[in-house]
Structure 1
Amino acid sequence: MEDAVGFADDHLIPLVDEGLGNSAYLLDFGDGRALAVDASRDLRALHTAAERRGLRIAFAADTHLHADFLSGAVQLGRDTGATILASAAGRRVFDHRALADGEEVDLGGLMLRALATPGHTDEHLSFLLLDGSRELGVFTGGSLIVNSAARTDLLGPERTEELARAQYRSLQRLTLLPEDVAVWPTHGAGSFCSAPPGTERTTTIGAQKQANPLLGAPDEDSFVAQLLASLGTYPAYFNRLGEINRRGPAVLTAQPLLPALSAPQVRALIADGGHVVDVRPAADYAAGHIPGSLSIPLRDQFATWLGWLQPDTAPLAFVTGADQDLSEIVWQSYKIGYERLAGHLAAGMDAWLADGNPQTTTAFLTADRAAGRPYLDVRQESEFAAGHVPGAMHLELGGLSAAAADAPHGPVVACGHGERAMTAASLLERAGHRDIAVLDGGPADYAAAQGQHLVEGTEGTHA
């Protein structure tokens, strides 16, 4: 009989969203049909993988009501006729097969068994894949993940500890599976649903019993304390998407587009309360941008920062570079529920300036030219604690809009490379700050240029 590793190599296709730090899975049954697990609304990679193998998506399973992306299950149900599998406790209001703990779904040779594993959410299911009596692997969603477990504070502070205790019991239940059972989590490194850094996206029960620090906790109280201590901040849009996923995201009947806008149309949009998001590289934004626009360079993490820093209630216009992919803007926006996309500025900043409109510039300085300014670090708390410039002030990018008054005058703003720092500078400019510079590089570059060494910890460093 084929072992779990061989089965996965032949039949399981992980589809990693590097920006959100998540994995969806496409399971090939070997008969032209497939199961999709935790697919997002951006189904491009999934469809490409399915078409390459000649597969029809027959089932779409969601382990939980996702907070960090809109589920693609409803869309798959419409497009392919897929049967949607999800927890009965989730009270979803669209057509699906509602599963309780222990219920099984016959996939046609293979079997999927629902395991109630609350913690990350209270309706969370894991899906155990069986070939006869052989337990091949388990799709653990936001329960057991590589060397950790997903956060338990998404339903509010009043329920965080309760769910952490449920998470403890869920992980204990999963560890009763055979040690060679593969673990296929949804959340991985880079996910704000709480996953530690690392390159591994999948694991086994046995490997986690050896390596997962949470599984090494001596008792439930220790587990809870350890898990809660690891929780950092998360994007504001997480608070909205669970309910949208419960109701079911709107089905798309056509490819969403990003129309071309003239400079007067963009000007009118701003006057009517719309927002401009500039997705060009940081250096291009620094050289000249629309006053008040928000810099979010188009890269894997674009959706995270759009959802963290920009309301979903106002129309958005985008400033793009000549070679940037408009469909990438659209799908990264749509997968987190941002659909009020007015369009992009045709011909970019050249058109804006040709129409007689003003622009603003931002100093983008290499480390040797940035000395003498207050140093403002906008990375996450964990990054800052791991190593920062001596004397640096710290304000996380996600909280900067609310704390702009606490930012120092005339700072050099820094992150790991410059992209988040340019976003921070655009927020500070919007709040009325002037004489802002952005570090073209990271803390190690700056420290080396000043003859310093990075220091660890967080005490006494917050702005």
Structure 2
Amino acid sequence: MSVTGVKVEALVDEGLGNSAYLVDLGDGRALAVDASRDLRSVREMAARRGLKIAYAADTHLHADFLSGAVQLSATDDAVVLASAAGGRAFPHRGLHDGDEVDLGGLRLQAWATPGHTDEHLAFLLLDGAAPIGVFTGGSLIVGAAARTDLVAPERTEDLARAQYHSLHRLMGLPDEVAVWPTHGAGSFCSAPPGAERTSTVGRERATNPLLATTDEGEFVARLLGSLGSFPTYFHRLGEANRRGPTVLPEPLALAQLGVEQVRRLLADGAMLVDVRPIADYAAAHVPGSLSNELRAAFATWLGWLVPDGTSVVVLRNSDQDPTEIAGQAAKVGYDVAGELAGGLVAWVDEGLPTSATGLTTADALRADEHVLDIRQDSEFAAGHLPGAEHHELGGLAATAPKMAPGLVTVMCGHGERAMTAASVLERAGRHKVRVLLGGPADWAASHGVDLESGP
């Protein structure tokens, strides 16, 4: 996109629901804003435009991805720009409210915008005296504001009140100023669904429901009422970003591990993550492995379901990109130990056992069968099979022992999360499990029955 001649590229991570930004400074240099540790898209765009990344700005100590700023500092000699209040334990230029950075023609002005986190900054991009756009991070986002319950439960309401004032401060900017948020649709940071990733101050003033009221209490009630669950790894990445992530070798790769090496790692507590398509996993898989099909949402479920500190070993098909696996894992804090060389074939060739998981279709699933719906609360409330049991996937390992015995059919919206849930149940010792291919709408259409709504 080009705003008054300044080129700003939004680099969308569909899986995490976030956007990084690359700003062409007009002299062969670039500013990267809120880039994750998986820098592939940032580097590709910079190379395409012939730019050297000179600055890496972070709006806040992200909870949903590891920052790439330390990596850019080490490999590109980029200057890291971030809040002085963040207490980062690595070289950076600490900024306070109102501080400005001369980018060589353009200027970046720090605005204290607490709410999503305490130390949150928005960055106003100025061309001379004219504001062009504002990188709002997790304060103002398209159609909403980011959640305020990530710091500590007892801080949630106070931070929501701070968020109210931060948003209204941003509303003091002219209508035409571009709004470039980090969090967007698909993010667990409370972004609503929708295709729009960027906006303007004027559009948000006119359409954002949270800005429709000038009453602070009503704002707080609306914001807190929209909060759902979030991945457990959110709790640890803020501190990891404060300390500074380790610098990775580039390009990323997966080490090759023999069968005996993998068995030793598993015996020592490692987790085998099977990234193959669900049909392949259903046909045969290593007992005790976690199914997490490689797709846009891979990183989210890896971070949610693999405990912190657990060594990760990957099993993939030969046509699946190892760099994609390593990159997605790295941005949520996992440096993968390696992959099973030769895949499942190598495991079978050693005479080692495999397991299988049953599959079923919507038309074959009877209404009186035990169905477990593992979607998010909001998805379940919008429409589910009559009588379905409901446990969110993120908490399933804890709730599995409380479920009734016997055959259970697991379902989600399409099947990928359901297979992940089935693997979680199998790891918990439940083996009478099968997975529905499809979702509630498929079942309702097959049976001519309306879905139920509500919790």
Query: 1:102 maps to which residue?
Result: 98
Q: Which residue of the other structure, out of 211, 223, 235, is the alignment partner of 2:231? A: 235
Deviation at 1:256, TM superposition (A): 4.0
Residue 320 (structure 1) aligned to one of 316, 327, 349: 316
Residue 145 (structure 2) pairs with residue 152 (structure 1): no
Deviation, 1:284, is 0.6
- Return 327-336 or 134-143, whichever deviates more: 327-336
| SS of the residue 1:11 aligns to | strand
Q: Deviation at 1:167?
A: 0.2
What corresponds to 1:406 in structure 2? 402
Q: Distance in 1 between matches of 2:333 and 2:429?
A: 29
Q: State the alpha-carbon separation in 2 of the partners of residues 447 and 375 from structure 1.
A: 14
Flag the 1:8–1:320 CA change in 2: closer, same or farther, 3 A.
Answer: farther
Match of 1:456 in 2: 453
Question: Which one of the candidate residues 323, 348, 351 is aligned to 1:353?
Answer: 348
Q: CA deviation at 1:329?
A: 1.1
Give the aligned partner of residue 446 of structure 1: 443
Amino acid aligned to 1:434 = H
Task: Say whether residues 1:15 and 2:11 are aligned partners.
Answer: yes
SS at match of 1:401: helix
Which of 288, 291, 314 pairs up with 2:287? 291
Note if 1:344 corresponds to 2:321. Answer: no
The worse-fitting range, judged by mean Cα deviation, of 34-43 and 262-271 is 262-271
In the alignment, the residues of structure 2 paired with residue 224 and residue 298 of structure 1 have an alpha-carbon distance, to the nearest angstrom, of: 37
Deviations 1:289-329 (A, max 9, x none): 11111100011111110110002322222111120111111
> Using the alignment, how far apart are the partners of 2:257 and 2:212 within structure 1?
56
Residue identity opposite 1:353 in structure 2: V
Percent sequence identity is 63
The one-letter code matched in structure 2 to 1:317 is V
User: Which residue type is aligned with residue 414 of structure 1?
Assistant: M
Letter in 1 for 2:340: L
Provide the residue aligned with 1:51 in structure 2. 47
Name the residue aligned to 2:364.
Answer: 369
Deviation at 1:40?
A: 0.5
Encode CA deviations 1:27-66: one digit per residue, 9 max, x unaligned: 0011111100000011111011001111011111000001
- Report the CA distance shift for 1:9/1:448 in structure 2 as closer, same or farther (over 3 A): farther
5+ residue gaps, structure 1, are 459-463
Which SS does the other structure have where 2:337 is aligned?
A: strand
For residues 285 and 75 of structure 2, the distance between their equivalents in structure 1, rounded to whole angstroms, comes to 41
Post-superposition offset of 1:455: 2.4
Tell me the SS of whatever aligns to 2:31.
strand
More off after superposition, 256-265 vs 388-397: 256-265
The within-5 A match list for 1:393-432 is 393-408=389-404, 409-432=406-429
Alignment-mate amino acid for residue 104 of structure 1: E
Once residues 254 and 35 of structure 1 are traced to their aligned partners in structure 2, the CA distance between those partners, rounded to angstroms, is 20
**What does residue 245 of structure 2 align with?**
249
Deviation at 1:8, TM superposition (A): 6.8
Distance in 2 between the 1:25 and 1:220 partners?
Answer: 31
Amino acid at match of 1:124: H
**TM-score, normalised via structure 1 length:** 0.95
Q: Specify the alignment match of 1:461 in structure 2.
A: none
Tell me which of 73, 77, 87 is aligned to 1:77: 73
Letter in 1 for 2:350: D
The separation in 1 between residues aligned to 2:284 and 2:143, in whole angstroms, is 44
- d(CA) in 2 for partners of 1:73 and 1:200? 26
Secondary structure (helix, strand or coil) at the match of 2:347 reads helix
Residue 176 of structure 2 corresponds to residue 206 of structure 1? no
Instruction: Please name the residue that 1:259 is paired with.
Output: 255
SS of residue matched to 2:442: helix
Deviates more, 1:32-41 or 1:366-375: 366-375
Aligned partner of residue 398 in structure 2, secondary structure: coil
- Scaled by the length of structure 2, the TM-score of the pair is 0.97
Q: Residues 8 and 198 from structure 1, CA distance in 2 versus in 1: closer, same or farther, beyond 3 angstroms? A: farther
Q: Answer yes or no: is the 8 Å Cα contact 2:312–2:334 preserved in 1.
A: no
Report the AA paired with residue 420 of structure 1.
R
